[in-house]
Amino acid sequence: MRFSSLLFGTASAVLFVVACSDNPEPNDPSGYNANQGYGAQYGQQGYGAQSGYGAQQPAPQPTAAPQPTAAASTTATPISPAAAAAAQPLLTGLAATETQGMSPDGSAFAGQFQEGQTLEQPFQIQAGRCYTVVGVGVGIQELDVQIVLHQPPLPPYVAAQDSDSGAQAVIGRNKNCFKNALPVGGPAKVVMKATKGGGVGLAQLYSK
């Protein structure tokens, strides 16, 4: 009877050990599973998967450095008067009515203009002489001309300018030529400007 009780107790202990080994505690911190191994409770992606913490991010793309913008020139491109052939008949016709009794003073000058650009031609203004400037534009909507004097040590100043509108400009029109009020001559220049629009400009200084 005592032997039977001992045998029964031993068999119960063996069954308990086997049962425990097949069913780990649900709170086992190791997360061990006989079929999937450690870490199965964290899912198939696990630590470091692309959709979790530490996912690989696309490399930043380099951005192009901003390029400096070249400043627009304020000076028109000089061209020969022959290259301004389209403007030459206009200048000749205008000068025929505005410069009677006068002669060309120096040569004509021409330029290829963008809006706002200017072109200058220096000359020596003479005491007692009278001057007219005739300018025409092709493609230019508003052309302006000036006579600028510079008597050092005085700064340059605009001595005369046209009051016309459109692609034709005349200083000293209708025989009202511009006369140098100074008793001596000195450096001066004719300034031609495409105030509105761009194209070819042609101008000529006359005197008597």
**Residue (of 112, 126, 118, 135) closest to 205 by Cα position:** 135
Q: Record the pTM.
A: 0.66
For residue 133, the model assigns a pLDDT of: 98
For residue 92, the model assigns a pLDDT of: 96
For residue 83, the model assigns a pLDDT of: 94
For residue 136, the model assigns a pLDDT of: 98
Domains of the chain: 2-42 (no CATH), 77-207 (2.60.120.380)
Show the CA angle centred on residue 173, arms to residues 171 and 177, nearest 5°: 70
For residue 122, the model assigns a pLDDT of: 97
For residue 7, the model assigns a pLDDT of: 38
For residue 71, the model assigns a pLDDT of: 60
Instruction: Tokens for 192, please give them.
Output: 């031609």
How far apart, in Å, are the Cα atoms of 105 and each of 74, 99, 131, 142?
Answer: 26, 12, 9, 24
Residue ranges in the chain modelled with pLDDT below 50: 1-24, 26, 28-30, 32, 34, 38-49, 51-53
